[in-house]
Amino acid sequence: MQIKDSVVFITGANRGLGLAFAKAALAAGARKVYGGARDPKSITLPGVTPVALDVTQPAQAEAAARACGDVTLLINNAGISRGSSFLGSPDAVAAARAELETNFFGPWALAQAFAPVLAANGGGGMINVLSALSWTTFPSVATYSATKSAAWSLSNGLRNELAAQGTQVTSLHVGYMDTDMAAHAEGDKASPDDVARQALAGVEAGQPEVLADEVSRQLKQGLSSPTPPYAGSPQAA
Ligand SMILES: NC(=O)c1ccc[n+]([C@@H]2O[C@H](COP(=O)([O-])OP(=O)(O)OC[C@H]3O[C@@H](n4cnc5c(N)ncnc54)[C@H](OP(=O)(O)O)[C@@H]3O)[C@@H](O)[C@H]2O)c1
């Protein structure tokens, strides 16, 4: 599908990668961009139509789909990380449940709500924002990584189930990006603007998967190694 003249709905569009997606979609000629946000007043980019949406509330996802019946590209971007290990964090289970609600059940609810909209508008597409951490894990982000692995499977399953209605599903994997979520991290970080542009180009090229930085490309390549990346460096964070 082409971004020009598409109608895009982005979850978590008020800041970080979601805001970068909104800018990139407008720059690529999208006809309309809806910005989902918990606080619609936080959507300030000119040209973006704010929509109240907490992705953990399926009723709000359904209301958004009813209100935005012209959408042709859904971008499941909203995500949280609680920075929790499995065994060393006192509230690890609560952190994992919260992360699952946002990172796994959220995109699932959005997909359920918007699938009929996408079908009615000719198929269209969906981007699911995953992570390099779909394929590896560190103690400092263990519960988050588990949710991004689950979301990878969700994205693959949605691709299977939406193929019949002509909806293409693109999974986006990236390592650290320069947003609030990774503000604590040192070292190289991908530019969210560049990542958003790559993801939209991937949609236009019909790619099932976009690996937006060297970290995600190396991790993916290493999965078939006898010593895969997820089996080493457990102290790294
Ligand atoms: N930053 C990285 O290094 C990195 C790397 C790989 C993948 N990712 C993924 O990239 C995506 C975007 O993250 P980011 O880096 O842009 O993080 P961010 O700067 O922390 O922004 C997160 C966005 O998600 C929204 N959000 C969180 N919970 C929500 C909910 N329940 N309902 C609706 N919106 C919600 C936030 O809205 P509020 O303003 O209301 O909180 C915000 O707009 C996430 O899926 C993240 O997991 C990030």
| Residue 123, in any domain of the structure | yes
pLDDT digits (tens, 9 = 90+) for 191-231: 999 999 999 999 999 999 999 999 999 999 999 999 998 99
pLDDT digits (tens, 9 = 90+) for 6-37: 999 999 999 999 999 999 999 999 999 999 99
| Residue 2, in any domain of the structure | no
Strands 209-211 and 32-37: unpaired
| Residue 108, in any domain of the structure | yes
pLDDT at 233: 58
User: Is residue 174 within 6 Å of ligand 1 at its C-beta?
Assistant: yes
Cα 89 to ligand 1 centre (Å)? 21
Instruction: Kindly report the pTM of this predicted structure.
Output: 0.98
Containing H/E element for 171? Answer: strand 168-173
| Residue 178, in any domain of the structure | yes
- Report the DSSP beta bridge partners of residue 9: 34, 74
pLDDT digits (tens, 9 = 90+) for 170-200: 999 999 999 999 999 999 999 999 999 999 9
Q: What is the mean pLDDT of the chain?
A: 96
Residue 107 has pLDDT above 80, yes or no: yes
Q: Are 55 and 80 in contact (CB under 8 A)?
A: no
Strands 48-52 and 168-173: unpaired
Cα 227 to ligand 1 centre (Å)? 31
Closest Cα to atom 6 of ligand 1? 131
Q: Are 103 and 127 in contact (CB under 8 A)?
A: no
Ligand 1 atom with least separation from CA of 12: 43
Residue 236 has pLDDT above 60, yes or no: no
pLDDT at 198: 98
What's the total number of domains in the chain? 1
Q: Are 52 and 104 in contact (CB under 8 A)?
A: no
Domain hosting 126: range is: 7-231
pLDDT at 62: 98
User: Is residue 77 within 6 Å of ligand 1 at its C-beta?
Assistant: yes
User: Cα–Cα distance between 82 and 38 in angstroms, integer?
Assistant: 18
Cα 179 to ligand 1 centre (Å)? 9
| Residue 237, in any domain of the structure | no
| Residue 1, in any domain of the structure | no
| Residue 223, in any domain of the structure | yes
146: Cβ–Cβ under 8 A, 6 or more apart, which residues? 96, 99, 137
116: Cβ–Cβ under 8 A, 6 or more apart, which residues? 65
- What's 93's domain CATH number? 3.40.50.720
Token pair recorded at residue 152: 């990878």
Phi/psi of residue 127, nearest 5 degrees: -110, 130
| Residue 44, in any domain of the structure | yes
User: Is residue 16 within 6 Å of ligand 1 at its C-beta?
Assistant: yes
pLDDT at 232: 77
User: Cα–Cα distance between 144 and 86 in angstroms, integer?
Assistant: 10
User: Is residue 143 within 6 Å of ligand 1 at its C-beta?
Assistant: no
User: Cα–Cα distance between 182 and 188 in angstroms, integer?
Assistant: 11
User: Is residue 181 within 6 Å of ligand 1 at its C-beta?
Assistant: yes
